[in-house]
Structure 1
Amino acid sequence: MAIISEDDSASDEYCPIKQVDMTVPKTDDPTVPVYTFRMWLLGIVSCVLLSFANQFFWYRKEPLSISSISAQIAVVPLGHLMAKTITRRVFLKGTKLEFSLNPGPFNIKEHVMITMLANSGAGSVYATHILSAVKLYYKKPLGFVPAFIVMMTTQLLGYGWAGIFRKYLVEPAEMWWPSNLVQVSLFRALHEKETRSKGSVTRTQFFLIALACSFCYYTFSGYFFTMLTSLSWICWIFPNSVLAHQLGSGMSGLGLGAIALDWSAISSYLGSPLASPWFASANIAAGFVLVTYVITPIGYWFNIYNAKNFPIFSSDLFQSNGQIYNTTTIINSNFNLDKPAYGREGPLYLSTMFAMTYGLGFATLSATLVHVILYNGGELWRQTKSAFRENKKLDIHARLMKAYKQVPMWWFLILLVANIGVILFACDYYKDVLQLPWWGVLLACAIAVVYTLPIGIISATTNQQPGLNIITEYIIGYMYPGRPVANMCFKVYGYISMTQALTFISDFKLGHYMKIPPRAMFNVQLVGTVISVVVYTATAWWLMGSIPNLCDKSLLPAGSQWTCPMDHVFYDASVIWGLVGPQRIFGNLGVYPAVNWFFLAGAILPAVFWAAGKAFPSQKWIGLVNMPVLLGATAMMPPATSVNYTSWIAVAFVSGYVVYRYRQAAWERYNYILSGGLDAGTAFVTVLMYFAVKEFHWWGNYVDGCPLATCPTGKGVSVDGCPVF
């Protein structure tokens, strides 16, 4: 993180982050209109379409997340068309309500506002998982009204935390939110006139070339030759070796040497590698190697916790004999844990990678707090004191934003108090359904308040976001065990409200860079959030009622796309933490109590590297070690697989280290534009192919080609299709 110096602050165009200085415009025109008819029309339509499409594709075997970049591009010709064709007549002229449907040319600021509205529909509504888990996996009734209340309040609760912490996460120049630079670059390419020098291309031309190439290529990798999603060549050399398949499979193993030549696989879980600063990417690479190629093999091949009885990499839950755990046998009529039945079925086991993921999640939580205290504590204290001073040092962008009225804190607080009130009412009125007591609601809010700032700092500086899902599940699982719906609700209020807050803050930072009035940003975010929740809920409800056996792999026809991998992981987590409870898995009654030592390790490691940095100041690399990012690198595994990481790291290295270091001018001009073009081309062709073509079967679409990777190797363990050792 860059440090502001006294000398630098004297410059009128001072900007301490080099990537921001090279990307973000340093001028503003406060007279440019942002509230226009075309902004509301195009923004709301984009929000509705993205909300529907993302929920529709969410249940599929390969979930597709269509980002707001798609809408950001698609609305440009429509905006210019509306500016040319809609009447410029002024209505109610001479009154305070005077307005025009067409105030002039389609401008960059209303384009940003449209994208913010679209962005509300681009991210998923995490609480949809509760609907899926209860109705599709537990097969219990859940009414539309309580489901809708949970989804709406989950999304809106984050506004409160965003309002409280925006002073620390938006205004400071060091909080630069790297992923926003992709959209800033794209906005500039789509609006700024640029003269093409001889032998080169403009940024707009380069973007269109990248989009077209991505569009054409994905018709090949996503339809004709899907094996490009995971080229696991070790499996091809040793087709009958379980060990080789475990090592080489990019989808179900450790992914040694596996590579993806498919942008959707590269960017699907960690986001665009082109938007990640190299020091953060290097931390992710180190964490991935440590977990995947050191800790997991040691745990598996030394047969710790009978690890060989299960696949080396799986999100399923197992019995001690390697068979899938039938959770329906341990649920009583009150939707609680049937303890006698659990005693008969035996303890619940996890694959080695799944167990390590939880352990590292514990370490990440403690590391996050210690890291922020040690590395950012002084700066946070200075920011707190400067908040009460008028003559604060500001970078060029913060100074330009002083021309606009800020959002009053009471706007955020009203939303916060109203949401907490509705949540408390719903949890009491629907207590038989939601299971969460009033004190659970308040405790979830307290956890979100504690972690929003430290996780926000990490996200704003590294483009990676450690999650709160594990700590929320852990706490309520101990305090209120045997109630899976209570556990899920507690998680979404404690974890997702924080995630939503950081999404709002990230959008505020985008508006900060593009000089959008803060009150306008608040209004479009709020409208977009409400619209997206309505569409997400209605779409999920429709799909659950119209697709037979949705998410049930045992009843779906072979090759069906409706297998819901993300919902399956969420359901497994509700069984582990809510139904069975952490005491029977990670506590004194469970198989994995030693995993709790990861909490201590996570607290110690940042202190070790902080002290080492102080002791050896000449070793600059020590200061770049970010333990929360390193320890949380594999938090998305599962459902993310090894090949998602190996390919992401390779691209991040080429972009963030090689090109940035040796071809910085080219990186400055094209890096973020390339990221946007690849995202947009893949999104457009994926939607088109889904509706226009049928599935195509041949050996080139036999993804991965490592069928033995999921086999256990424990002595005498028998699983269909696998050898017995």
Structure 2
Amino acid sequence: MSKAAYEDDIDTVSRDEKDTYVDTTEEKFKGGEDRSTPEQWTPPEHWLTRFVDGYSGQHGGETLPPGSDPELVAEAVFTMDVQESLERLKIIAHEAPHDYTFDQSLAAYIRDLLLGNEHCNMNMEDWSYEVCRLAGVIHNWSAYAEVRAVLVPYDDPDIPCESIRVYFLGFFWIAVVTFVGTFFSQRQPGISIPQQFVQLLLVPMGRGLAYVLPDWGITIRGTRYSLNNGPWSPKEQLLSTIMMSQSSTIGNTTGILDLRMPIFFGQKWATLGYSILLAIANQCFGLGMAGILRRLTVYPTWAVWPSNLPLLAYNRTLTARDNKGEVVNGWKITRWQAFLISTAVFIVWYWIPNDFFKAIRYFNWMTWIAPQNLKLALVTGSWGGMGINPISCLDPNTSGSGTMNAPFFAILQQYTLQFVSGIVLLILYFKNVSWAAYMPINSNSSFDNKMQGYNLSRILNDDNSLNLEAYLDYSPPYYAIGYLYSQGAQFVYFTFSMVYVFIRYWPIIKKAFGSLIQNNLKGRSIYTGFDDGHCKLMRKYPEVPEWWYMIVLAIGFAISIVTVSAYPTQTPWWTIVALAVIGTFVTIPWCVIKSLSNVGLPLGIIWNVLPGVWFPGKFLPDLMLLMLGDAFTDIAGSFGTDLKYAHYARIPPRAIFRTHIASQVLNCVIYCCTIEALLGLYDSDNTFCHPDNKNFMVCNGPRGVYSSVVSYGVLGTNNLFKLYPALKWCFLIGPILALFWAFGEKLTHLIRHRIVRNMDDEQQARFNSRYWAPLSTVVQSIHPAIALEGATNWGGNTNLTQYTTALFLSWLFQYYLKRNYTAWWGKYAFLLFAGLNVGVAISGFISTLIFSFGAGRGAQFNYGVNTISTAGVDFELYNNAISLLPLPEKGYFGLEKDQYPVTNL
């Protein structure tokens, strides 16, 4: 078969054919019965030996995760004969160009294998081994090297998992982490207990309980429940980690503090009981949606959720021994040693850019040439400028350490569009578009027409409603061009993603929701249509039916209606119906993009915009819908991450369901009780949440919520759009771009066939290799919905400083090392990420305690290397103290008073 003919043959493998293959395989496993078949193929014994040797780390390439049984891995991989393997590879080759995470060099190798052993210059024995090995590795283990680096393709269902010890430790850490995080998040800088640090402590605590607890228990329906199940198991470690992680998933119920605190909205009817109801409604919405979307965000192999992989690698290192005698790329140190070294390095390094050598944290070295040159600071400044600087930050924590484990294709595309957006912003600023030059270029603050910070209290009545006369006498709020551009980009990104994801992934979405209905009607397994290795292993455990999650969602819906209708929230009950419908649609693309790239959509803005249109002049509807609406995205995404984490870790689905429910109830109660304590703290000195609070409890998060609610709710969305008309058109630009891109993707295939239809095989091969293959590789690697996220990364003094170093780190770890030193990368990379997070967390916690509450309180290291980066106009831009243009002679800028936007006020 010629290569051109082969490509045409691959094109005939439609998605429907793939689904038929999968569904046929499903019949073998229907009902979760024994997965073996009557005539199971057995690989040659020397193939297993060859596989084990190939993954030993002695020959380059990949290695096995720590604690692996090489023989079990080999047996799990070789389950298909040559013919079955070829059929599987054909499907993989068809899907690979559309999978942004799949290694395209591996896809090219698969296409070569499908052309036969002679094409590959292999003898039949080697070719058959490679075909079966590659098909088995991808199908039974994972298509992605980063997943294979932290997971094994087999499971032992008898390992203890949902134990009394897990609930005890999980509940303990939920209580501690929720209280500390809620209380001290109001402080600047905040104090929190990082997840990686708790994971580290769970190991000795779990093993300690296994040592001291007696083996007392009872037997219920044939299952014995004991205080002590024996040694602390890896699955217990993983499940308790998931429980503890729920201490940070309270969502946007930070608005409860705004609702109740006298310095904000001070609604006395919002009692402790009401707060708990509202918080539980949030969690029910999120958990219900995450469960219903499992077929879209958990079971598909392409839904990797990259943020889970370092946690899985970290847990495996904590609970499993290294493979004996393993040496990779000349390195002999164990994973545990690598983690400890990384942790120690970053414990020490944290102090250098954050306390003793601050100049390299925001490394604005280019502005040191002329510290008072405003234009230089605007372009290159790290504090208040654009941050266009090739060496902008030497602190990986500041530059976003999370990007080190994000796919390089996502980071590169985001950075490219962010850089282009920075150039556009500079042009708009110097052209004084929308009065931009009278304000700093990249601030999140609002300003009045005299270039001062906007004083909201001047336009509000005692009940926080708008005083129209005072507003007309004062000024509309004006915003920096960086903030406006970010808002407009978010509108484009939002509507683009809604349209593009539904077009691009419509077959998958249709199949997911179609199977949801059909499987419930026919009583089929929820895994119907998914036959990869992970789903096969999970069939051993009882499933969680969809109706369980639907009940949770219904409870959240009912409680939400009660929270808005039975209390004076000024929010009609029908808004919850609208919220549920809109929330369902926006959560789907959010979860799809997040699962691919570790990037989420900026959906919070929609819950400001819509209430501002529906109820202009009222703040309570805006605040209520902001809190409840975010539950559909942020919390659903958090729970979706956990469900994938459990899926990878082979944790029984019903165990994760029960622990989620129990964790969230405790989390909500402790969170709301902590808010109650903060109200008492306010009453004690009346400075809580004030900028001059002596303990730095300034409430930055609630202040941001307060400002957005007043801007959109009190002043109204239409008035903001009247002040800045371009913003509303951004909602239309998004879907137009999405349709253009989506149809372009469809047409390229037809264009290629039209070009090559009159060529012979040799001409087609030359055209494909010289022109079409390079071009299609570039185009297929672009995910526009992910790339557009980069354009939103402006405002609030966020600039390229935070992302340039992140781009270099992502290239190093997720491209160069992954491709050229695969064994080293697979063994050590994720542990370096974990060590960085743990080291920074430990050192940051110590630093905060010493310099904010301990002996070093108020200490300042005011020598040259600590003050040079803040000595010029770059830092003045950051503090909103300077702008390009001075105030006009008439004493104000912007609209004349008779032009102030007052629609529906």
Query: Does the TM-score normalized on the shorter chain lie above 0.5?
Result: yes
Say if 2:153 is the partner of 1:26.
Answer: yes
- When the two chains are superposed, the root-mean-square deviation of aligned CA atoms in Å is 2.6
Give the counterpart letter for 1:191 in structure 2: T
Aligned to 1:108: 234
Once the two structures are superposed, what CA deviation does each residue of 1:121-171 show, in whole Å capped at 9, x if it has no partner?
A: 134542113423762653534433333332332222212212221122111
Aligned to 1:708: 876
* Identity in percent: 24
Once the two structures are superposed, what CA deviation does each residue of 1:647-679 show, in whole Å capped at 9, x if it has no partner?
A: 322322222222223222222111211111111
Q: Which runs of 5+ in 1 are unaligned?
A: 719-725
Change (3 A) 1:704 1:52: farther
**Larger RCO: Structure 1 or Structure 2 (Cα < 8 Å, ≥ 6 residues apart)?**
1
Give the counterpart letter for 1:526 in structure 2: I
Quick one: which of 859, 864, 871 aligns to 1:696?
859
Q: Is the deviation greater in 247-256 or in 402-411?
A: 247-256
Q: What's the offset of the Cα at 1:115?
A: 0.5
Say if 2:402 is the partner of 1:264.
Answer: no
Aligned to 1:439: 574
Contact 1:133 1:570 in 2 (8 A): no
Count matched residues. 703
Quick one: which of 401, 405, 415 aligns to 1:275?
405
Q: What's the offset of the Cα at 1:520?
A: 0.5
Contact 2:191 2:848 in 1 (8 A): no
Aligned to 2:506: 377
Quick one: which of 176, 189, 192 aligns to 1:62?
189
| Alpha-carbon distance in 2 for matches of 1:581, 1:158 | 28
Quick one: which of 805, 826, 829 aligns to 1:668?
826
Matches within 5 A, 1:320-335: 320-335=449-464
Matches within 5 A, 1:27-42: 27-42=154-169
Aligned to 1:565: 700
Matches within 5 A, 1:512-661: 512-546=647-681, 548-553=686-691, 555-556=692-693, 561-586=696-721, 590-613=722-745, 614-615=747-748, 618=773, 619=775, 620-633=777-790, 635=792, 637-639=794-796, 641-642=798-799, 643-661=801-819
Q: What's the offset of the Cα at 1:419?
A: 2.1
Contact 2:299 2:530 in 1 (8 A): no
Aligned to 1:209: 341
| Alpha-carbon distance in 1 for matches of 2:495, 2:358 | 40
Q: What's the offset of the Cα at 1:550?
A: 3.1
Once the two structures are superposed, what CA deviation does each residue of 1:84-140 show, in whole Å capped at 9, x if it has no partner?
A: 2222x3334698574321111111101111101110113454211342376265353
Change (3 A) 1:225 1:550: farther
Q: Is the deviation greater in 38-47 or in 218-227?
A: 218-227
Q: Is the deviation greater in 612-621 or in 307-316?
A: 612-621
| Alpha-carbon distance in 2 for matches of 1:337, 1:430 | 22
| Alpha-carbon distance in 1 for matches of 2:675, 2:177 | 14
| Alpha-carbon distance in 2 for matches of 1:365, 1:324 | 29
Give the counterpart letter for 2:788 in structure 1: L
Aligned to 1:683: 841
Q: What's the offset of the Cα at 1:13?
A: 1.8
Q: Which runs of 5+ in 2 are unaligned?
A: 1-14, 19-85, 92-134, 753-771, 890-905
Give the counterpart letter for 1:407 in structure 2: V
Aligned to 2:548: 411
Larger radius of gyration, structure 1 or 2?
Answer: 2
TM-score, reference length from structure 1: 0.91
Contact 1:609 1:625 in 2 (8 A): no
Give the counterpart letter for 2:277 in structure 1: I
Say if 2:391 is the partner of 1:254.
Answer: no
Change (3 A) 1:609 1:101: same
Give the counterpart letter for 1:152 in structure 2: I
Contact 1:177 1:460 in 2 (8 A): yes
Aligned to 2:493: 364
Aligned to 1:425: 562
Q: What's the offset of the Cα at 1:406?
A: 1.2
Q: What's the offset of the Cα at 1:461?
A: 0.7
| Alpha-carbon distance in 1 for matches of 2:185, 2:256 | 14
Aligned to 1:721: none
| Alpha-carbon distance in 1 for matches of 2:220, 2:743 | 67
SS in 2 for 1:99: strand
Contact 1:68 1:122 in 2 (8 A): no
Matches within 5 A, 1:168-207: 168-194=296-322, 195-197=324-326, 199-207=331-339
Q: Is the deviation greater in 274-283 or in 648-657?
A: 648-657
Q: What's the offset of the Cα at 1:537?
A: 2.5
Give the counterpart letter for 2:563 in structure 1: A
Contact 1:223 1:696 in 2 (8 A): no
TM-score, reference length from structure 2: 0.74
| Alpha-carbon distance in 2 for matches of 1:224, 1:545 | 37
Q: What's the offset of the Cα at 1:451?
A: 1.2
| Alpha-carbon distance in 2 for matches of 1:375, 1:429 | 42
| Alpha-carbon distance in 2 for matches of 1:607, 1:691 | 53
Aligned to 1:723: none
Say if 2:523 is the partner of 1:355.
Answer: no
SS in 2 for 1:259: coil
Aligned to 2:763: none
Q: Is the deviation greater in 219-228 or in 132-141?
A: 132-141
| Alpha-carbon distance in 1 for matches of 2:819, 2:449 | 51
| Alpha-carbon distance in 1 for matches of 2:791, 2:250 | 21
Q: Is the deviation greater in 45-54 or in 463-472?
A: 45-54
SS in 2 for 1:13: helix
SS in 2 for 1:321: coil
Q: What's the offset of the Cα at 1:478?
A: 0.5
Contact 2:418 2:790 in 1 (8 A): yes
Aligned to 1:306: 435
| Alpha-carbon distance in 2 for matches of 1:163, 1:36 | 23
Q: What's the offset of the Cα at 1:356?
A: 0.8
Aligned to 2:113: none
Give the counterpart letter for 1:691 in structure 2: L
Contact 2:544 2:653 in 1 (8 A): yes
| Alpha-carbon distance in 1 for matches of 2:506, 2:357 | 51
Change (3 A) 1:288 1:462: same
Q: Is the deviation greater in 144-153 or in 417-426?
A: 144-153
Give the counterpart letter for 1:138 in structure 2: F
Change (3 A) 1:197 1:6: closer
Change (3 A) 1:703 1:355: farther
| Alpha-carbon distance in 2 for matches of 1:140, 1:322 | 30
| Alpha-carbon distance in 2 for matches of 1:134, 1:244 | 45
Aligned to 1:222: 354
Aligned to 2:50: none
| Alpha-carbon distance in 2 for matches of 1:565, 1:249 | 24
| Alpha-carbon distance in 1 for matches of 2:674, 2:349 | 30
| Alpha-carbon distance in 2 for matches of 1:93, 1:63 | 46
Give the counterpart letter for 2:287 in structure 1: Y
SS in 2 for 1:265: coil
Change (3 A) 1:161 1:437: same
Contact 2:258 2:266 in 1 (8 A): no
Q: Is the deviation greater in 540-549 or in 359-368?
A: 540-549
Q: What's the offset of the Cα at 1:17?
A: 3.0
Quick one: which of 291, 295, 305 aligns to 1:163?
291
Aligned to 2:277: 149
| Alpha-carbon distance in 1 for matches of 2:291, 2:220 | 36
Once the two structures are superposed, what CA deviation does each residue of 1:620-673 show, in whole Å capped at 9, x if it has no partner?
A: 222222222222225454446222223322322222222223222222111211
Q: What's the offset of the Cα at 1:608?
A: 3.5
Q: What's the offset of the Cα at 1:65?
A: 5.3
Q: What's the offset of the Cα at 1:466?
A: 0.4
Q: What's the offset of the Cα at 1:376?
A: 1.2
Give the counterpart letter for 1:236 in structure 2: W
Q: What's the offset of the Cα at 1:254?
A: 1.1
